[in-house]
Chains A and B, each alone.
Chain A
């Protein structure tokens, strides 16, 4: 799915995640997690990555793989490697708690096998939402 660099695209993104999860009977928890991770990646691209207002600024693809769901996300924003982003201190007191970095922190909590490459002006990130095999 191709997304323009506008936050109003979130509703289309969410609908596509719901469609994919419904088609594959993945359940509400997986749908929530994928919606959340997708939102965090896309909002980051639009608000911090310079993708705001750019047509076809980002694209993503979901697929079933062994051990879970693969998410491939790409954007045309400035280089940003989510695997190297600083970890926010989530135990800091309210007044000192940083506002940034929480979205990427959530992504790292939910997803595994996160890989990042910068290719031809695109940030390309691949990751997996693990789903334990039935009976384990």
Chain B
């Protein structure tokens, strides 16, 4: 599924990550699947920022995210900054233990709202 963004397609062919947007109550849930590495980071940032730009409560569902590196973390931080500047609620949810370990090592809990489960 194509993300709702203007991110350039991966030059090698298909998208590196897949995303899907769904409205659940007051929240818009952006489910992200795949590997958020340095090649996919721009696509992830565009996807999350597009959602944050259009909705007042955005939950990034990372339960199907297999991997994230510092480049992927920066994409999430950029989306969180956009959300903070525009008073949008932004939460990251459902991370696997391995992805959460990278968030924890990076101190992301200091600056992000993180939920084990979706808030809706």
Contact = CB atoms under 8 A, between A and B. Distances in A.
Interface of A: 7-8, 10-11, 14, 28-29, 32, 35-36, 39-40, 43, 47, 90-95, 97, 99, 102-103, 105-106, 109-110
A8 B107 contact: no
Given A8-B12, A35-B67, A91 B110 contact: yes
A94 B81 contact: yes
Nearest to B85: A95
Best-buried of A7, A28, A39, A110 by chain B (most CB within 10 Å) = A39
Given A94-B80, A94-B81, A102 B38 contact: no
Interface string B76-92: 01001100100000000
Given A10-B39, A36-B69, A90-B110, A95 B98 contact: no
Contacts of A8: 11-12, 39
B7 to A, nearest CB: 15
Contacts of A92: 110-111
B38 A97 contact: no
B50 interface: no
B102 to A, nearest CB: 7
Interface of B: 11-12, 35, 37-39, 67, 69-71, 73-74, 77, 80-81, 84, 98, 102, 105-107, 110-111
B105 A94 contact: no
Nearest to B105: A109
A108 to B, nearest CB: 10
A105 B70 CA distance: 9
Contact of B84 (A11, A40, A94): A94
Contacts of B84: 94-95
A47 B84 CA distance: 28
29 contacts: A7-B39, A8-B11, A10-B38, A11-B12, A14-B35, A14-B37, A35-B67, A36-B67, A36-B102, A39-B69, A39-B71, A43-B69, A43-B71, A47-B38, A92-B110, A92-B111, A93-B110, A94-B81, A94-B84, A94-B111, A95-B81, A97-B111, A99-B77, A102-B70, A102-B73, A102-B74, A103-B69, A106-B69, A109-B105
B77 A97 contact: yes
A39 B38 contact: yes
Contacts of B77: 94, 97, 99
A35 B91 CA distance: 26
